[in-house]
Amino acid sequence: MRRPRFRAVLGVLTLLLLPLFGAVSTASAAPLTSPATTALPISYHADMAVDAVHRRLYIADIVTSSVLVTDFDGKLLKTLRNKPGAADLVLSPDSRTLYVALSGGDAIAAVDTGTYREKVRYATGAGTAPMRLALAGNTLWFSYGSDWDSSIGSLTLTGTRPTVRLGLVPWGTWGGPPMLLSSPAAPGLVIAAEQYVSSATVTVYDVTSGEPVVRTTQDNPGDIGSIFDLALSPDAATLFVVGGYPYDHLAFRLSDLTVEHAYPTTNYPNAAAVSVTGEIAAGIDNSYGQDVYLFRPGADEPSRVIDLEPGTGRALRPHGLIWSPDGTRLFALTGEYGSTLALHVIQP
């Protein structure tokens, strides 16, 4: 805890330097609540999902083929094992089922969130290696394959015999299994984004017919580089696409994928999450500096800037931010090569 004398000196210095540093000094001077931090028994993560009903956070690890379960305070509760190549997570609308893409098992697992038992494992076909998931209505859409043989498939969950369909986009559309995103606020739409090649294509598919039909598509929208993360505003009108370049967090109109706003951060953007109230968490890959910038919608400067692990050399993980459904907590994952991850629970 800082001593009162130190706080007084710091306040004087802030006033003296404010004209020189403007917005950065203002954001850094915002009151901070120290995040609660939990060491995790994994060194990598592929995805996170939040469960409002059970107040749980799920973390998928493709390396250990497991899914970690924590509470909203970051306490580790359980590890779900035997999830080969756990690559992506999606919750059912009622939070009763957690779907896990099993890239090492050529399947999608359905886990009961009340008991943590696997209810069923849907085979997607030999060698498919499903990587990313998006739920639209009663259909799970998944990206799969490798390199330019990648495609998008679907798993229809209705009826007595759920149906898997493969090869639903033309061959050569994607240079690897694309990142997928959907939202109840945009029914019938699935967003796909290239994450393996520098020509970062973003496509919005209309899937209401059961087939992915291109509604709009852009190559390198906003001159963005390889894509690390996607996020939607609560009304699904705005899409955040995060790449290592440019050194801003870009917001696009979902309707036509034109740039709507650039949230000024710094190099190198690698994560984004939007709360139910519209607050934007913009993450940076920065080993020795500030990791997360918080913005109000449309703002030109952050309301708060957070350095999660000062002086440690550990950085925010790509795709490493997610809000609790009520917007009261922001979960962040940090780590460095070869070391275990840390989960931070930030309460703005």
Q: Inform me whether the pLDDT recorded for 227 exceeds 80.
A: yes
What six digits make up the tokens of 49?
A: 């999902």
In contact, 150 and 139? CB cutoff 8 Å: no
Phi, psi dihedrals of residue 110, rounded to the nearest 5°: -110, 115
DSSP string, 178-197: PEEE--TTSTTEEEEE--SS
Backbone angles phi, psi at 185, to 5 degrees: -75, -10
The DSSP 8-state label assigned to residue 34 in this structure reads P
| Residue 236 predicted with pLDDT over 70 | yes
Beta bridge partners of 346: 330
Contact (Cβ atoms closer than 8 angstroms) between residue 257 and residue 202: yes
For residues 249 and 240, is the Cβ–Cβ distance under 8 A?
yes
pLDDT band at 165 (very low <50, low <70, confident <90, very high): very high
The total of other beta-carbon atoms located within 10 Å of residue 20's CB is 8
Q: Please, what is the Cα angle at 156 between 134 and 272, to 5 degrees?
A: 5
Q: Averaged over 144-173, what is the pLDDT?
A: 94
Instruction: Work out the burial of residue 213: count CB atoms within 10 Å of its CB; fewer than 13 is exposed, 13-18 middle, 19 or more buried.
Output: exposed
Place of tokens 């703002």: 299
Q: What is the pLDDT averaged over residues 148-163?
A: 93
Nearest to 332 by CA among 229, 184, 213, 220: 229
* Average pLDDT value for the chain: 91
CA neighbor of 70 nearest in space, from 110, 32, 42, 109? 42
* Better-scored residue on pLDDT, 256 or 16: 256
Per-residue pLDDT of 81-113, as tens digits, reads 999 999 999 999 999 999 999 999 999 999 999
- List pLDDT tens digits, range 124-148: 999 999 999 999 999 999 999 999 9
Q: Compute the Cα dihedral for 14, 17, 22, 24 and give only its sign.
A: negative
pLDDT given at position 159: 80
Beginning with the edge strand found earlier in the chain, give each strand of the sheet holding 139-144 in spatial order: 132-136, 139-144, 151-156, 163-165
Which whole number is the average pLDDT over 36-60?
A: 97
Residue 311: both structure tokens together: 């002086």
Kindly calculate the radius of gyration of the chain based on its CA atoms and give it in whole angstroms.
20
CB 164 within 8 A of CB 175: no
Q: Has residue 57 got a pLDDT over 50?
A: yes
By DSSP bridging, strand 227-232 and strand 238-243 are: antiparallel
Q: Does residue 30 have a pLDDT over 80? A: no
Residue 270 vs residues 4, 79, 267: alpha-carbon distances, Å = 37, 26, 9
CB proximity list for 140: less than 8 A, separation 6 or greater: 90, 99, 108, 133, 134, 154, 155, 157
Strands, DSSP E only, in 18-105?
36-39, 47-51, 56-61, 66-71, 76-80, 86-91, 97-102
271-304 tens-digit pLDDT: 999 999 999 999 999 988 899 999 999 999 999 9
